Amino acid sequence: MIKPQFNPFIGPSSYMLINMGARWSPCMHAIPNVQNATQPISWPCPNTTTYDVNAPTMQCTLSELCGFGGVPEPWYNATATMENVPEPNQWWRFITPMFLHAGVIHIGFNMLLQMTIGREMERSIGSIRFFIVYVSAGIFGFVMGGNFAANGMQTTGASGALFGVIALLLLDLLYSWKDRKSPWKDFLFIALDIVIAFVLGLLPGLDNFAHIGGFLAGLALGICVLQSPNALRRRIGDQPPYSQVVDTNGFLRQGAPPSFFSNPVGFFKGRKLLWWVWWLVRAAFLTLAIVIFIVLLNNFYVDHKECSWCKYLSCLPVKDWCENGILDIQTHDVPADKLKRNLAFAALEQSPNLQAFFA
């Protein structure tokens, strides 16, 4: 029987989002029991509206579900192993999900943050710095989710990137603490936002790893791109905040230090020891972020090591919530009520258990 799938965020189904470019591991690297399966596997089609596993729209190939020109199909024979089978590699799914959302409500919440804290931060630090942190935090969040989230979860949304912006807000507050009129009030406001978001990320349908990864990336890159802390800047005679360095016409104000690109030698000339120490700290955080990013990518594509307890950072151990999103490939019939329950669960940042069936 054909039935519509209801997405509470008023948007496409999970399978359509996968086909549109959501982060979904089976389209990105080899998955045990998928690439080395010995029997053909049928997947839900992007346009499916039924829970009947025998329906034509539940009989798509992995390549048809992934889209974008498809992926190498598993061999489906006894010679297939995880070492010799062709591996999917739609790496761009670490990037495209930032521009996809589960529905109108999802993008509405993200746009609200984008047009408030995002706009103010971009005005403060400039579009280039904001773009670097925003995109990097979003990608880092999806890479972290790819390593630690369940292998059947599809992830979309700009929440990881926005958590990077929240990290910038926190750093900006700490850097200008003594110059704030009510720093503790500002801190409690930011802390409350962070706590609420992370707690909500423990509920089914939210990928907390994207939030955590975006926030950590925002902290590391924020130290690299934000102005020096006000107290340190006064001691070393560093430039005033970004908003005061450039006038309304885009030119350096009188007394501001020369730009690195216009005068590299003059930029470093006469700097105090504390200035060099702070730049070494910045370089260390940038190096750390790059190293962790490479390690996570290597683990995703090569090592495939799993963390047994990390899932509890994104779920509460009640009502099998932590089992949600695990790719469930079965060779036997699944009761219709169970299948309906699994497929009907729409998600903000991830999808429910995705059932696949041997044909």
The residues, ordered by sequence, that sit 6+ positions from 248 with a Cβ below 8 Å of its Cβ are: none
Per annotation, catalytic residue among 13, 14, 25, 159: 159
What the block records as the tokens of 353 is 């258990």
Q: 211 an active-site residue?
A: yes
Give, in order, the Cα–Cα distances in Å from 48 to each of 13, 94, 186, 324, 331: 9, 25, 47, 21, 21
Dihedral (CA of 207, 209, 212, 214) sign: negative
Q: How many Å apart are CA 21 and CA 327, to the nearest integer?
A: 18
Say what the alpha-carbon torsion angle 287, 291, 294, 295 is, to the nearest 10 degrees: -170
State CA 293 to chain mean position distance.
12
Q: 159 an active-site residue?
A: yes
Q: Identify which of 190, 143, 142, 148 has the alpha carbon closest to the alpha carbon of residue 169.
A: 190
Per annotation, catalytic residue among 106, 211, 228, 351: 211
Residue 104, classed as helix, strand or coil, is helix
- Catalytic residue IDs: 159, 211
